[in-house]
Amino acid sequence: MAITRIRFRVDTTPDTDSTSDLNMAGHLASNTSTTSAVVDDGTDFEVGQNIKMNSEEMTITAISTHTLTVIRAVNGTSVAQHNDNVSIFKDDSPTYTPTQNPNVGTDISKVYDGIKSKKSLGGKTYTFANHESSRIQRKLVYENITEANKNRLVALFDYAKGQKTSFQYSEDGNTWYTVRLTSNKFPVSETAYNVYRVGINIEEQLEYLKIRFKLMMIGCRKSDKVKWRKTPR
């Protein structure tokens, strides 16, 4: 997947007041085919954000000046009618996301780190799987960013407290991954007055690990078995 616009957020809950209300003559109808919502200020929102009007949650898929194109009734909520001037709440992605992407050439690795291998005395390789799920790993480097953008990443690091707490990451505003920082150190350098370089390494967190511990012994001869060494206590 090509990186189009990297975003970070803590959760999907639209609980931050956007200060921008619905601005429609009449109301936003209570049907899922009505997907255009005119607001006071379209710059208060981003594509990929979750928003909430009354009890209905929606996801923004496009923005044209002050008109939001949305998917109605997401996250198990029900479609409803919303009158002019209703308050709109949004998720917190702008709080933690710089307004520019990281450098071109970002490391976009994918790993199967649950697969382990051992060689027998005879030189044959055997594998077993703690789990068979892949995960993404990213090494993001932001060059020549402003102090405001640097502070957004610092806020993300402070929220996560290094490796302690996971958060959400997207490369297109539609697909989101639960990730964690891979280090408790946050490397920041000032390359010019109020101009910064920041590096972030993240790794996807797997929600459902299929623990198998399946040792592949196909064709194994008795004299060719793996010798496992006990770990000292």
Separation of CA 34 from chain center: 28
Helix (H) or strand (E) run with residue 156 in it? helix 147-160
pLDDT of res. 215: 40
pLDDT digits (tens, 9 = 90+) for 81-103: 999 999 999 988 878 988 888 98
Which parts of 5-148 are beta strand (E)?
7-9, 16-17, 27-28, 36-38, 50-53, 56-64, 67-71, 82-83, 88-90, 107-111, 115-119, 125-129, 135-146
Say if residues 41 and 66 touch (Cβ distance below 8 Å): yes
Q: 214: which 2 tokens? A: 């399946």
Say whether pLDDT at 222 is over 80: no
Work out the pLDDT band at 231, boundaries 50, 70, 90.
very low
CA–CA gap between residue 129 and residue 126 (Å, rounded): 11
CA–CA gap between residue 191 and residue 114 (Å, rounded): 39
Residue 216 φ/ψ, nearest 5 degrees: -85, 105
pLDDT of res. 92: 83
pLDDT digits (tens, 9 = 90+) for 137-169: 999 999 999 999 999 999 999 999 999 999 999
Q: Which residue has the higher pLDDT, 193 or 74?
A: 193
Residue with tokens 């923005």: 63
> Could you tell me which of 207, 204, 134, 208 has the C-alpha nearest to residue 169?
204
CA–CA gap between residue 186 and residue 200 (Å, rounded): 7
Angle value at C-alpha 156, between 150 and 157, nearest 5 degrees? 90
pLDDT digits (tens, 9 = 90+) for 184-203: 999 999 999 999 999 999 99
pLDDT digits (tens, 9 = 90+) for 50-69: 899 999 999 888 999 999 99
CA–CA gap between residue 23 and residue 44 (Å, rounded): 14
Say whether pLDDT at 70 is over 50: yes
Work out the pLDDT band at 121, boundaries 50, 70, 90.
confident
Mean pLDDT of 119-143: 86
